[in-house]
Structure 1
Amino acid sequence: MENIDQIVAILKQGGIILYPTDTVWGIGCDATNANAVKKVYKLKQREDSKALICLVNNYSMLEKHIDNVPNIAYDILDLSDTPTTVIYDAPAGIAENLVAEDNTLAIRIVKHKFCEKLIKYLGRPLVSTSANISGQPTPKSFEEISEAILKGVDYVVNLQSENKNAKPSTIIKLSNKGEVKIIRE
């Protein structure tokens, strides 16, 4: 198993990492650190108006950062048999440059042993965005990750055998007004 303490130290110092998730390989950072988030946008060559996903490890952490989790969110998450990201209204305690222009944030409760442990030790949500330059195809395996990404992160988690032929999560937007919209299946 990877040295979690070393990875957490890098994240707490504002570093960015490349790591496997329950979907595709991700570029990540401490979701409460605006400077680290800025580094992720820069590495991906992505406009910061395009929001990123955050990973949390349980409902408790979700509720800490979303004041009003709609009841339907729990049903969707409990019934989903694939990784599902939900976009919530009015996030709190997150780097401002992670919050979308409409004051929403995409969050996934991760079901992946390494990610769960990493988030637990970090004690904060973790940014998760696909390990590619914006506009390029999402890598389906570690071998497909570009040299620019590999060299642009501060740490590469040594779990390359993970996530063969993975795919991005389903994304559902829930508003506090009761609206439900599928963004990506």
Structure 2
Amino acid sequence: MLKEEVAKALKVIQDGGIILYPTDTIWGIGCDATNSEAVKKIYALKQREEAKSMIILLDTDNKLQSYVSEVPDIAYDLIEFAEKPLTLVMPGAKNIAPELIAADGSVGIRIVKHSFCEQLIQRLRKPLVSTSANISGQPSPKNFNDVSPEILEGVDYVVDVDQHDTTEKKPSTIMRLSPGGQFEFLRR
């Protein structure tokens, strides 16, 4: 079942489509983080201005250096010891769609701990875009039942995993990291 869903989602993403999928936090809308056209589809669906960047998901922290020019050493400790999902905003973003890079050159990255996401990212061999499954300005969905019809109809594929999980999920903690290792919380 999981393997089949990963294969279906992978095909949609490789064809430039966008998916609605479960993560270790809230339901997300995602695509290949290196595909500008797919990223633009997500901005359009969310009715979100491109100045507000979206995060990317990786399956392991040893891939960070492929997408950030200088990973501060503390990033690995923060990822290892974080008790809940943690998104790190780091400068020097590279090798991703320009629409995902903030005006200051940074990108938010989360090492995802969710079997569907991990398998999908491993097979895609690229980072996965993740942004809350809502129209910009509306509340983030706490579980699958909260996802609006506009989003359900606007994506190319709805992943059939965890749809019956009614646990209320929360977005990740977000920290900004500077190359020197200083950090600040943007969302706790």
How high is the TM-score relative to the length of structure 1? 0.97
2:101 to 99, 102, 120: 99
- Number of aligned residues: 185
1:169 to 166, 169, 172: 172
Alpha-carbon deviations, 1:111-130, whole Å to 9, x = none? 11110000001110000000
Q: Per-residue deviation at 1:84?
A: 0.1
For the 8 Å contact 2:20–2:27, the answer to whether it is kept is yes
**Quick check: 1:51 aligned with 2:53?**
yes
Alpha-carbon deviations, 1:4-60, whole Å to 9, x = none? 222111101110000000000000000000000000000000000001010000022
2:41 to 36, 39, 42: 39
Q: Per-residue deviation at 1:163?
A: 6.2
Q: Which moved more, 1:159-168 or 1:145-154?
A: 159-168
Alpha-carbon deviations, 1:70-106, whole Å to 9, x = none? 0111111111110000001111100001000000000
For the 8 Å contact 2:72–2:180, the answer to whether it is kept is no
Q: Structure 2: how far apart are the matches of 1:131 and 1:163? A: 16
Q: Which residue identity lines up with residue 178 of structure 1 in the other structure?
A: G
For the 8 Å contact 1:23–1:163, the answer to whether it is kept is no
Q: Structure 1: how far apart are the matches of 2:47 and 2:101? A: 18
For the 8 Å contact 1:139–1:145, the answer to whether it is kept is yes
Q: Which residue identity lines up with residue 169 of structure 2 in the other structure?
A: A
Alpha-carbon deviations, 1:113-154, whole Å to 9, x = none? 110000001110000000000000111011110000000000
Aligned CA-pair RMSD? 1.0
Q: For structure 2, list consecutive stretches of 5 or more residues without a partner in the other structure.
A: none
Hey, what does 2:10 align to over in structure 1? 8
Q: Structure 2: how far apart are the matches of 1:164 and 1:126? A: 23
1:102 and 1:163, CA in 2 relative to 1: closer, same or farther beyond 3 A?
farther
**Quick check: 1:179 aligned with 2:182?**
yes
For the 8 Å contact 2:73–2:181, the answer to whether it is kept is no
For the 8 Å contact 1:25–1:163, the answer to whether it is kept is no
